[in-house]
Structure 1
Amino acid sequence: MSQAVQAVRSKVTGDLYAEVQTFYARQMRRVDALDIEGFADTFTDDGVVVHANGERAQGRERMVAGMRANLPRYRDIAVRHWFDHLLIETDPADEDTLRVSYYTLVTQTDREGKVSFQPTFTVDDVLVRRDGELLTRSRVIHRDTPVELPAS
């Protein structure tokens, strides 16, 4: 499924943009370091992740259980999540809610230094501010597919 391009409805400050980028940098360093509990702590208690295959994990406990089950596939590799092209929208009805869409690339490096690339994805997050900190309330991951060519 290709992702439609949406116009950004609100402008964000440079400070907010930097805060969101820093939040993702910290969040992804936790997951890349296999700090499963630390990664889950970057979500709200009832946070939800919907993976590209339709699998859904709601709540920190289910997220941790799902990630633990997948740990064997990360033996002998270093994983890195790369995020770019962030589109951030504020919610006019709730100043503590942000909608963020971005592209992600995941690399895996083996012990010999060989790097492999995983499929690319577009991710749609809802971030909320709780006690001054950003947390992810929801994440929907879409695997990228080719865009249909327009009819001539």
Structure 2
Amino acid sequence: MTQAVQAESTEVSGDLYAEVRTFYARQMRRVDSLDIEGFADTFTDDGVVLHANGARAEGRAQMVAGMYKNLPRYRDVAVRHWFDHLLIEPEPDSGGNTLRVSYYSLVTLVDAQGAITFEPTFTVEDVLVRRDGRLLTAERIIHRDLPVVF
């Protein structure tokens, strides 16, 4: 699956760009340190994650349960999520309180000897909402990157 690139872009302020980057830095440090509840707290109560394999987690409780189930996969490795090439587009008529964000994700796993393993790359589409002055993820759709067919 390929994601369409819009012909026209919406520019955001440097302050908003920095706020979104900081939000993701904090969110990913929580998941990388296996702070499962802290990570889930960066989503709305009814937040939804649709994984590339089709699995769906709806609400913080399902997210937390799914993450605990996957914990053995991360035994004896340091996990790092790397996000880049963020496109931030405010939802029209939301007063800047709803943002559509698309970015590329790379996940690395480092073992005790320092050997690095790379996970497949992904393109992620998020909907961020501002609640009580705080950004939260309301929706995340994760697409595994595949070659472009032409």
Report TM bin, short chain.
over 0.9
Q: Secondary structure at the match of 2:52?
A: coil
The amino acid that maps onto 1:103 is Y
**CA drift at 1:146:** 0.3
Q: Which runs of 5+ in 1 are unaligned?
A: none
Distance, in Å, in 1 between the alignment partners of 2:138 and 2:7 is 22
Greater shift, 25-34 or 92-101, is seen at 92-101
- What does 1:40-119 correspond to in 2, within 5 Å? 40-95=40-95, 96-119=97-120
Q: Secondary structure at the match of 1:94?
A: coil
The amino acid that maps onto 1:131 is D
- Determine if the alignment matches structure 1 residue 143 to structure 2 residue 149: no
TM-score (ref. length: structure 2): 0.97
Q: For 1:20-51, what per-residue CA distance to the aligned partner results, in whole angstroms no more than 9, with x for missing partners?
A: 00000000000000000000000000000000
- Determine if the alignment matches structure 1 residue 129 to structure 2 residue 130: yes
Percent of paired sites with the same residue: 74
Distance, in Å, in 1 between the alignment partners of 2:8 and 2:49 is 23
TM-score (ref. length: structure 1): 0.96
Q: Quick check: 1:8–1:87 contact (8 Å CA) kept in 2?
A: no
Distance, in Å, in 2 between the alignment partners of 1:8 and 1:70 is 39
Q: Quick check: 1:83–1:102 contact (8 Å CA) kept in 2?
A: yes
Distance, in Å, in 2 between the alignment partners of 1:66 and 1:90 is 30
Q: Secondary structure at the match of 2:72?
A: helix
| Aligned twin of 2:15 | 15
Q: For 1:34-87, what per-residue CA distance to the aligned partner results, in whole angstroms no more than 9, with x for missing partners?
A: 000000000000000000011000000000000000001100000000000000
Taking a change above 3 Å as real, the CA distance of residues 8 and 23 of structure 1, as seen in their structure-2 partners, is farther
Q: CA RMSD in A?
A: 0.8
Question: How many equivalent residue pairs?
Answer: 149
Q: Which runs of 5+ in 2 are unaligned?
A: none
Taking a change above 3 Å as real, the CA distance of residues 77 and 127 of structure 1, as seen in their structure-2 partners, is same
**CA drift at 1:104:** 0.3
The amino acid that maps onto 1:14 is G
Q: Which runs of 4+ in 1 moved over 4 A?
A: none
